C-alpha cells in the first residue's frame, strides 16, 4: 500500500508524521503541499473520503488563514468553494494529508495513524 504524503517540510507536525511513517516502514510518495497543492477535484475527493467536514481541511493556525479572515467566510461557502480556495494556496491546507486513494487522514495524531495506516 503506497501512500501519498502531502506535507510542508518546515512544519513540525509534518516532520512527526514523516518520522512515524519511516519508523513503521510504510512506503509513501511525498508531495510538497505548497509547491504542488492538491487540485480542487483531489480536495473534494479527500473531503468525501475522510468523513470530516470541509472546514477541517483548513490550517486554522496559519498566517494566511488569519490574514484573510477565512474563519468568518467559511459558514457562507459551499464545499466546492472551500475546495477551490484550498487548492489556490497550499499554505491554507491543514497538514499533512495522507491518502492511499481510499482512506484519508488530515493532520497527525498517532492514534489515528495507527488505526488507519497499520491495519
In this structure, which long-range contacts are made by residues 8-15, counting pairs with CB atoms below 8 Å and at least 24 apart in sequence?
8/32, 8/33, 8/34, 8/90, 8/91, 8/95, 8/96, 11/95, 11/96, 13/95, 13/96, 13/107, 13/108, 14/95, 14/96, 14/108
pLDDT, tens only, 30-50: 999 999 999 999 999 999 999
Q: Which of 1-5, 17-21, 66-70, 82-86 has the lowest mean pLDDT?
A: 1-5
CA–CA separation, 103 and 48 (whole Å): 10
* Domains of the chain (ranges, CATH numbers): 3-117 (3.40.30.10)
Query: Is pLDDT at 8 greater than 80 in this prediction?
Result: yes
C-alpha 29/C-alpha 85 separation (Å) is 24
Tell whether the model's pLDDT for residue 1 goes beyond 80.
Answer: no
Amino acid at each position: 500500500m503506497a501512500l501519498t504524503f502531502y506535507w510542508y517540510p518546515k512544519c513540525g507536525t509534518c516532520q512527526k508524521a514523516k518520522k512515524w511513517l519511516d519508523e513503521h516502514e510504510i512506503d509513501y510518495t511525498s508531495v510538497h503541499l505548497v509547491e504542488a497543492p492538491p487540485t480542487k477535484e483531489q480536495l473534494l475527493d479527500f473531503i468525501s473520503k475522510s468523513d470530516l467536514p470541509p472546514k477541517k481541511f483548513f490550517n486554522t493556525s496559519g498566517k494566511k488563514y488569519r490574514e484573510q479572515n477565512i474563519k468568518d467566510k467559511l459558514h457562507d461557502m459551499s464545499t466546492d468553494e472551500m475546495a477551490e480556495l484550498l487548492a489556490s494556496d497550499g499554505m491554507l491546507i491543514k497538514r499533512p494529508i495522507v491518502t492511499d486513494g481510499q482512506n484519508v487522514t488530515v493532520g497527525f495524531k498517532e492514534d489515528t495513524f495507527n488505526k488507519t495506516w497499520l491495519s
